[in-house]
Structure 1
Amino acid sequence: MKKTKWLAVVLASAMLITAAGCGTNANQANNAAGAAGKEIVLAYSDGGQTMDPAEANDLTSDTLVVAAYDQLITYGVKNVNGADIANTEELKPMLAKEWKVSDDQKTYTFTLQDNAKFQSGNPVNAQAVVWSLDHVKNSKSGSFLYGMAEIESCTAKDDKTVEIKLSQPNHNFLQIIAMYNFSIIDPAVVKDKGADYLKNNAAGSGPYKVEKWDPATEAVFTANPNYWQGAAKISKVTTKFIKEPSNRVTLLDKGDADMAIEIPTQNVADLKKNANLIVRSDASNRILYLAFNTKVKPFDNPKVRQAISYAIPYDKLVHDVMYDQAKQMKSAVASNTPGFTDAGFVYKYDLDKAKQLLKEAGYENGFSFDFTLGSGFQDWQDDAVLIQAELAKIGVKMNIQNMARAQFLEAQKTHNLTAYISKWTSFVNDPGYHLGFLLYSKGSSNYGNYQNAQVDKLWEQANVEPDQAKRNELYKQAQQIITTDAPWVYLYEYNRVVGMSKNLKGYIFYPDEIIRFYSLSK
């Protein structure tokens, strides 16, 4: 998410609201479309960075990819208390109509759909799948996922048959290749247009064509009339990029947007009073935590980290900052992830216990440390101020150093920050995927340098264990050790809040939080 100049944001937002106030709103545009098809307007917070599936790693870029591309397989859908959510434990055919697994769990053979075509008109064939996986392998962002999937080779056996061999059994393989990073790309288009084409253009087989993408203003999607699964019910989707949250709320409240995301928690109650709106608030696996650099004093001492965990005003964070649109986090793994356990979680707001642990650690008189606060999220800022005040009561001075979002993300990658708040969403709803990125000593996002040989061993054992019950037991043991080690202070698990017109149907909540336009209708 790139930093935008403040003045430009203000001017753009003001122009948008003015236009919305005197122009055609979402409902009027839909009525005017008539037989031409249904149209919707969505309010997003950020304009995205790329359309390349292998390189996309922000929500808007991911949305562009999912609209324009298909993958080999996808998730099923289940209804929970009247709400449709992805069933991450059910994998269904997409571009692959079926697949077989060898007895040793190392060879997967996919048979492709007979009628699937790219938006160019070229057929989706095995050669395109091989090319697409090779593209992920050679990418900057997706290559780690390729390695995590344990892919050894990908071969086209004939036009409609693909064989993927793994270096070792991997229970997460199918979950990983269902991700948008493994979208199937039309190699003929890329070879014709050049290597840089995918950054700003799509070459997929998906339900929507990206007609326009301006990260500063909007993206416009039109339904692919020749989509192999049938044309989408919504013929045109316009996503407006509006950085100021209050402006997104205003557009939704007035009916000038059919849907808005990243809604401030303090606005949820008022939006629910609007009879024309539905506010979906789904428990997600997006977590927020305060991470310590475990290689730097005093945070190399587990008792210091545990002491901080006893000085956190957990209830205030959930109730006062998040307006109850979150719940307390009690493990490194989100509570709606299979294999979750809160074993070892003993922390509560107890300043006396915090002081006792500091004394045992040799810091009876407290200490001072630098805390890096990335910009862009009001709750992070509010959390930091609350935590700073509580730590002062136990003699710990927390020096808040503000940093722009883009710089913060780069600084994290240096592994040199002393302490910071960060959030994470695991797109694969599995403890192995989650811990493998964040707390396995070799994980690519283990920015706090946490290292525990026992945790590593448990993770490695679980990674090759075919029995899910045994695998979950190993992950539970790892979580308990991590919770006791306290490399993070567990803050909270977010709800995914989406506001939408009551006339908009078909919204499905996915763990990656990407909105699938294809299921929507009006």
Structure 2
Amino acid sequence: MALAAGLFAAAPALAQPAQDLVIGMPVASVANLDPHGATTNVQGILQVNAQIFEPLVNFVDGEYVPALATEWSANEDATRWTIKLREGVSFSDGSSLDAEDVRASMQRVVELAGPLAGLFKPLSIEIVSPSELVISSEVGQGALLGKLFMLAIAPSEKLGDDFGLNPVGTGPFVVDAFDPSQGVTLKANPGYWRGAPKLDSVTFRMIPEQAARTTALETGEIQLTWTLPDDQVATLSENPDLVVDTVTTMANIVLWFNSDRPAFADVEVRRALWSAIDFDTIIEALYPNTGSKMEGPLPATVFGASKQTPYVYDADAARAVLEAKGWDFDGTTVGVLMNNTTYKPLVDALLADWARIGVKGEVDLQEPAVGTKRLLDLDWDIAIVQPVITNTGDADYNLGRLYTCAANRTTYCDETLDALLTEAGAISDQARRAELYAEAGKIIWDNAVGMFPMDVKQVWAWSAALEGVRLDAVYKPDLTQIHFTK
């Protein structure tokens, strides 16, 4: 009988893999975790805070979907929005989410005067009940959902000067350890309203050096990273222990023409200069994994994006147009203003294409502070803006912010374009807004306000032992479903 009992004894349970993820971040430090102040949109902080805090709405696959808000509606002119909050949601400190937390979070963004303050300054909040509020504005807020996507909700009673070092949110993770120069360790929030994440912990390690980050991935010191360069993709893809994939982001590379300069005042000249550049070949050669040719002035992932008629590369035709327009091939040298070298290979390649038809050009590289000042002062021939990130996911944050006469960011001014952008930003009918942005995009594209070569793609790589990785187009990665299988 003893032998029989031994035969039927329960086998020892197989050891389950540890659920502790280490992410290699392509940044040098994370100064603080305040979601409302000056560092709100800083890469690194944005990704960590996406695990701690949540907005009222999320932006997924080009659509705004419920998060801490479950319902919303607006009047026709979008001056009054009614928002209903999700009930039964608690912050990680145990306090309950209510409308006062939304009001306090929005007010704090405005008071701290960070990069998002302008989005919320025109708004006022009326609390109807703990789970319902009304957001009002004298000016229509057709793009309000995109703005709410950027608003991290925090408990009103916890907000203070040291909140960035002691953050509390409703998100799937909570802070376990934080060293600004080394990294952040988060642990799972067991009371998360969607259900606890599959990971027990996530550590964000700061590894700004690309070679060191790649080595750490290959040796298993980290198990996930992103923003990898093109020249690493082939090698990493051959590693059977890794998975490599790309995602199109909400960022694009833009080269604006200064149409106040006599050389660029004629739209036919601007179009010819664009058509003289073989962007297809340049992108394929330099950015096969981190870029894709743009089809309009907005990233393809953004609400309001539309496909426009492509500019066809034709160097001979471009030269003929420039000759007919009296381009001074000997006396004109086009400067391309840059404030960093990230996309200098792109600029070098386009200057080489221009040189083939006799157009002289040069890189006008400035240190960041000087380059930014000159960009804002309109002191440039052509300016490469690298990249333009449509943080809200809505065309209003890109076209409506940069291409109006009042903004005067590109020197181009068109009353018809202004009217389209104004109407699109001030109505609640989202289908009509998309139509208006398509019309506005056509004006910007056809008039060659700038050259729009490339949407930015992001390369991710992770351990093959992971499942549940969801590529992130909006710089707010969802880590809730990631887990180790071995």
TM-score (norm 1): 0.81
Question: Are positions 1:461 and 2:426 aligned together?
Answer: no
Query: Paired residue for 1:185, among 127, 142, 154?
Result: 154
Structure 2 counterpart of 1:374, which letter? N
For 2:256 and 2:77, the matched residues in 1 are separated by 39
Match of 2:119 in 1: 145
Distance 1:257 1:118, change over 3 A: same
Match of 2:478 in 1: 516
Structure 2 counterpart of 1:126, which letter? A
- The answer to whether the 8 Å contact 2:32/2:180 transfers is no
Structure 2 counterpart of 1:502, which letter? A
What is the SS of the residue equivalent to 1:518? coil
> Per-residue deviation at 1:344?
4.3
Select the structure of larger CA radius of gyration. 2
What is the SS of the residue equivalent to 1:517? coil
What is the SS of the residue equivalent to 2:46? helix
- The C-alpha deviation readout for 1:36-93, integer Å capped at 9, x for no partner, is 9611111111134552323312221211221221222324xxxxxxxxxx3332512x
For 1:469 and 1:157, the matched residues in 2 are separated by 29
Distance 1:395 1:48, change over 3 A: farther
Structure 1 counterpart of 2:235, which letter? D
- The answer to whether the 8 Å contact 1:286/1:424 transfers is yes
Question: Are positions 1:432 and 2:423 aligned together?
Answer: no
Question: Are positions 1:319 and 2:284 aligned together?
Answer: yes
For 1:459 and 1:187, the matched residues in 2 are separated by 35
Distance 1:337 1:125, change over 3 A: closer
**Unpaired runs of 5+ in structure 1?**
1-33, 76-85
Match of 1:385 in 2: 348
> Per-residue deviation at 1:214?
4.0
Match of 1:351 in 2: 315
What is the SS of the residue equivalent to 2:190? coil
Q: How does 1:37-56 map to 2 (within 5 A)?
A: 38-46=19-27, 47-55=29-37, 56=40
Return the structure number with greater helix share. 1
Distance 1:310 1:50, change over 3 A: farther
For 2:230 and 2:319, the matched residues in 1 are separated by 33
Query: Paired residue for 1:300, among 257, 265, 268?
Result: 265
Question: Are positions 1:505 and 2:467 aligned together?
Answer: yes
For 1:186 and 1:468, the matched residues in 2 are separated by 31
Which segment drifts farther, 120-129 or 462-471?
462-471
Question: Are positions 1:87 and 2:58 aligned together?
Answer: no
Distance 1:117 1:466, change over 3 A: closer
What is the SS of the residue equivalent to 1:519? coil
For 1:477 and 1:103, the matched residues in 2 are separated by 21
Match of 2:3 in 1: none
Structure 1 counterpart of 2:323, which letter? K
What is the SS of the residue equivalent to 1:171? coil
Question: Are positions 1:220 and 2:202 aligned together?
Answer: no
- The answer to whether the 8 Å contact 1:232/1:518 transfers is yes
> Per-residue deviation at 1:376?
5.4
For 1:210 and 1:441, the matched residues in 2 are separated by 45
- The answer to whether the 8 Å contact 1:429/1:511 transfers is no
Query: Paired residue for 1:496, among 458, 465, 471?
Result: 458
Question: Are positions 1:72 and 2:36 aligned together?
Answer: no
> Per-residue deviation at 1:499?
0.7
What is the SS of the residue equivalent to 1:482? helix
Match of 2:102 in 1: 129
> Per-residue deviation at 1:259?
0.7
Distance 1:338 1:407, change over 3 A: same
For 1:305 and 1:370, the matched residues in 2 are separated by 14
> Per-residue deviation at 1:363?
1.6
Match of 1:164 in 2: 135
- The answer to whether the 8 Å contact 1:355/1:364 transfers is no
> Per-residue deviation at 1:504?
1.8
- The answer to whether the 8 Å contact 1:332/1:490 transfers is yes
TM-score (norm 2): 0.86
- The C-alpha deviation readout for 1:183-231, integer Å capped at 9, x for no partner, is 11222222xxx43x24444232322223444444322222233434433
Number of aligned residue pairs:
464
What is the SS of the residue equivalent to 2:200? strand
Structure 1 counterpart of 2:42, which letter? D
Question: Are positions 1:288 and 2:288 aligned together?
Answer: no
Distance 1:158 1:468, change over 3 A: closer
**Unpaired runs of 5+ in structure 2?**
1-14
For 2:172 and 2:80, the matched residues in 1 are separated by 30
Q: How does 1:237-316 map to 2 (within 5 A)?
A: 237-316=202-281
What is the SS of the residue equivalent to 1:221? strand
Distance 1:61 1:449, change over 3 A: farther
For 2:430 and 2:93, the matched residues in 1 are separated by 42
Distance 1:188 1:435, change over 3 A: same
Match of 2:384 in 1: 421
Q: Percent identity?
A: 23
> Per-residue deviation at 1:132?
1.0
> Per-residue deviation at 1:455?
0.8
> Per-residue deviation at 1:105?
4.9
For 2:17 and 2:291, the matched residues in 1 are separated by 41
Distance 1:127 1:342, change over 3 A: closer
Structure 2 counterpart of 1:244, which letter? E
